[in-house]
Structure 1
């Protein structure tokens, strides 16, 4: 397998047995939200709120963060990044660094839209869990009840798809797919075409046997949402997920549309291997696994919402019983990290990251401190085998939450 097509696996906790997606301001303070029920099984126990989980964001700490972000940007060659950190009683930190457009020198700013890649998975799985709450689908239903032609479809459950334990081959690892994508990055893909790239490969293991991150799983869950709801996935997410939460600056694009103002994106996942601007690439190849767009303030609201199942006004988005299942999982191969139903826990931080050509993001919530961290950047080019969003997440949390450092191993060499 080529190195480039292996990198297209990325988009969340990309290490060892995991491959992640790389295709691709509302109000509502996190302070009003309760801690989530349950915790992702492989993550460390979440302490009760003690007030000492996050450092006071004093001017000195903010200067330290400024210097650290600039250092990582310089070392990793990141053109632009926006960082937002909010706590109920330790202050907040919102900064943009660098440029949004290298050709014009336009500065990065907190109001820009960016593509969020695999963070889309949290929205797709939320849509599914809403339908489960309504009794219209069951997590232990097998996928063949909704989609025909799936290898092992009579054995793979919706729970296993959402928890990355289906054994289905990840379509974005297919070399033919990579060649088609990079030869014409603006071409559209249908969900059926994406599944075709997966289903021509044998299954990797029996359902439920182990964890292996596959974008194929989310394409199938997107089709389940459409069949059960009787509506296009983008429409259901807009009205039944984004609407109740009040996310007016988050969208599921149909093609390569991109609201303004947005940042340009810089990637080396190209046919030539040279760095290109990917802002006008079509993210349909990520669909339910990675096509969505958002901004800093919306992701600030989404982080505690998805981690707790509760709306910013205190209402319920996902019932406590189903939310507990979302946040519970068998162990993964990564020390200190667990993956639930479309969501991870890394050293106590709950959420997801995203990566697709030109863009990366990290949106996480620390229940013990009711702290939210959002990082948005306009490149996906690896630095020393790691995604730049992971490098930034590690550097930032090492300063502000030293007992809960968002640390993941570097991506292994291509097979």
Structure 2
């Protein structure tokens, strides 16, 4: 536990809060039977990071706060932020038709970038395509191109006409990644690195499958009914790409969301667009904006995202109106990292 002020020695209050947060992390991870977990909390002048359990069941290696985890769909917030940065430069408008940048999308001339980022496009989610399942079963580590993932989605009927509803679909962010590349002429990995990761100082985050890995990714697991199975490298990260291929740690994620929600990365107008919510009907998560989820908590409304990907669960949220943030990462994909964030938020509320 440290003070938010230049890593100074923590106050007695921060030390006490850190002990309670660690106890909550230990208890919640044990209750979920997670092999390991890491978490970080920024609350006022207190900065805490902790870990529990193991990062490798075979080697029995203790989990460390700085360990790297796959973060799944939290990738979407980074991609949405990138698109809004390009909008701020006049490179695109959220009301542009998708067909202006990506060809071959049914009704793409009636579908806007805003609908893509907010999951109101109606595009079918490729991960539920029967053909995708067959390909993965035959060759689990097969690499995919973004065009192949979109083709799998568009071979299925859309959920609804563009703008006619809300339905979360990974396909939307595969399209968004291609839009970013088309507008800039760069690669998605390069754009994320030069515009967000390096400038913000996120030294432990990378787009897996698209750039050299950073050492530190731990093992990820799932229980299929006969005990935990190591599925860290079960699939190719190209299967997730702009929808979920980032790897990161609790420090980088807390920093990113604290800066994003406090208007340090985007303008107030951009953040207002990101936090214009569509109703979701999800328990505890009443709204989805543009790459952001609104989550109810003991601290009030949190803004961030969660992610599930093979072997891992992730959740990271900023507290609106402050520089505070909470992140929880678990190396078990059938766990519940968002519930762990809720547990930590309750401890902070009782501070």
TM-score w.r.t. the length of structure 2 is 0.88
1:94 corresponds to: 49
Alpha-carbon distance between aligned partners in 2 of 1:223 and 1:97, rounded to the nearest angstrom: 38
1:212 corresponds to: 167
| Contact preservation (8 Å) 2:144, 2:239 | yes
1:158 corresponds to: 113
Shift of 1:236: 1.1
| Gaps in structure 1 of 5+ consecutive residues | 1-28, 32-55, 311-316, 383-387, 404-415
Q: Pick from 193, 217, 221: which aligns with 1:266?
A: 221
1:322 corresponds to: 270
Shift of 1:58: 5.5
**SS of residue matched to 1:333:** strand
1:338 corresponds to: 287
Deviations 1:83-103 (A, max 9, x none): 1111223x2332110000000
Matched, 1:146 2:101: yes
- The structure-2 alpha-carbon separation of the partners of 1:179 and 1:68, relative to structure 1 and needing over 3 Å to count, comes to farther
Matched, 1:292 2:246: yes
Shift of 1:287: 0.5
| Gaps in structure 2 of 5+ consecutive residues | 7-12
1:352 corresponds to: 305
2:9 corresponds to: none
Structure 1 vs Structure 2 CA RMSD: 2.4
Alpha-carbon distance between aligned partners in 2 of 1:273 and 1:147, rounded to the nearest angstrom: 44
1:191 corresponds to: 146
**SS of residue matched to 2:280:** coil
Shift of 1:211: 1.2
Matched, 1:78 2:34: yes
Tell me which moved more, 244-253 or 135-144: 244-253
Q: Pick from 218, 227, 232: which aligns with 2:182?
A: 227
- The structure-2 alpha-carbon separation of the partners of 1:378 and 1:96, relative to structure 1 and needing over 3 Å to count, comes to same
Spell out structure 1 runs of 4+ moving beyond 6 A. none
Deviations 1:113-155 (A, max 9, x none): 1111111111111111111111111100110111111111111
- The structure-2 alpha-carbon separation of the partners of 1:273 and 1:177, relative to structure 1 and needing over 3 Å to count, comes to farther
Q: Pick from 320, 339, 364: which aligns with 2:317?
A: 364
Equivalent residues, number = 336
Alpha-carbon distance between aligned partners in 2 of 1:358 and 1:30, rounded to the nearest angstrom: 35
- The structure-2 alpha-carbon separation of the partners of 1:224 and 1:172, relative to structure 1 and needing over 3 Å to count, comes to same
Alpha-carbon distance between aligned partners in 1 of 2:334 and 2:118, rounded to the nearest angstrom: 27
Alpha-carbon distance between aligned partners in 1 of 2:285 and 2:184, rounded to the nearest angstrom: 36
| Contact preservation (8 Å) 1:256, 1:282 | no
